[in-house]
Amino acid sequence: MIKFNWKRTEPEDFIVKEIAEHEISENGKHFLYLLVKRNLTTKELARKLNFSYAGMKDKISISSQFITFETFKGDFLKKTLKKDSWFILKFIGRKSKKLKVGQLKGNRFAINLKNLEISEKSWFINYYDIQRLKRNKDKGKELLRKLIGSPEKKLKWIENFYIDSYLSFLWNKSLETYLKEKTEGYFIAEAEEEFFIPENIDISKLPKFWTILGYKKKLLESELYYSTVLQKEGFSLNEFLSLLKHLKIKGDYRMTYINVKELKKIGNHIFFYLPKGAYATMFLKHLQKQ
């Protein structure tokens, strides 16, 4: 077991730019802006300003992303909220529909490696990272236990969020179980979460996608591994899938591994592009030398 040694200490250590294409409509009822922010989460700023967005961006970062408002906010606005946090809004044009989560292609990153010693690697296993898991997965598991046998009900946003976090944990663990069976590797740990990093593996021979549990998606190669993990978690696979059907959770497929694009290192900084849903910090975990 090794400890993840990279830690951002200021927003300038982690710069992210959202990549997306949006159609502009002169008569659109929604107003598209570019948002640049420092030391603020997308969610907290969205609550304050009431905008829609395509992707969540970390707090301790300088990030740029597209957002939509229902009213015009001017051509340009810059505002400091606290001593170390600010945001800028630049008007892009009108859109016929507001932005929804997932309407982006990916993100470009510029990260200060600091003292992190890295290996030469251009791929990583597409695990969900601690931003998704910490404190949330246990709440999701507890909520699902309470919902077994309950009357049908519409889940609140926060309930869906907790359940999604637990399903992300199960995705990680089922894939980890599969990988440990196929190859040797080591664990890297951060904030009480552990991630299995495979060694000497031809990733092109891995399944391209791994199922996120839900009643509408085929399990394919993941079935045995989900069954094993769920048994340790105190569920049977059939019971769990029945519960997800009761809650109308359809499931999905997630890329098993990511081939990193536009990768380059200049001095103490690393630059790269990832598709939506992939975690830059997970790539750093794979890069860290043992």
- Mean pLDDT, residues 176-203 taken together: 94
| pLDDT per residue as tens digits for the range 23-36 | 999 999 999 999 99
Decide if pLDDT at 153 tops 90.
Answer: no
In order of their start, the domains of the chain are 8-115+260-287 (3.30.2350.20), 125-258 (no CATH)
- Mean per-residue pLDDT of the chain: 95
Query: What pLDDT is stored for residue 135 in this prediction?
Result: 85
Q: What confidence score (pLDDT) does residue 215 get?
A: 95
SS (H, E, C) the chain: CEECCCCCCCHHHEEEEEECCCCCCCCCCEEEEEEEEECCCHHHHHHHHCCEECCCCCCCCEEEEEEEECCCCCCEEEEEEECCEEEEEEEEEEECCCCCCCCCCEEEEEEECCCCCECCCCEEECCCCHHHHCCCHHHHHHHHHHHCCCCCCCCCHHHHHHHHHHHHHHHHHHHHHHHHHHCCEEEEEECCEEEEEECCCCHHHCCCEEEECCCCCCCHHHHHHHHHHHHHHCCCHHHHHHHHHHCCCCCEEEECEEECEEEEEECCEEEEEEECCCCHHHHHHHHECC
Averaged over 236-260, what is the pLDDT? Answer: 96
pLDDT at 290: 83
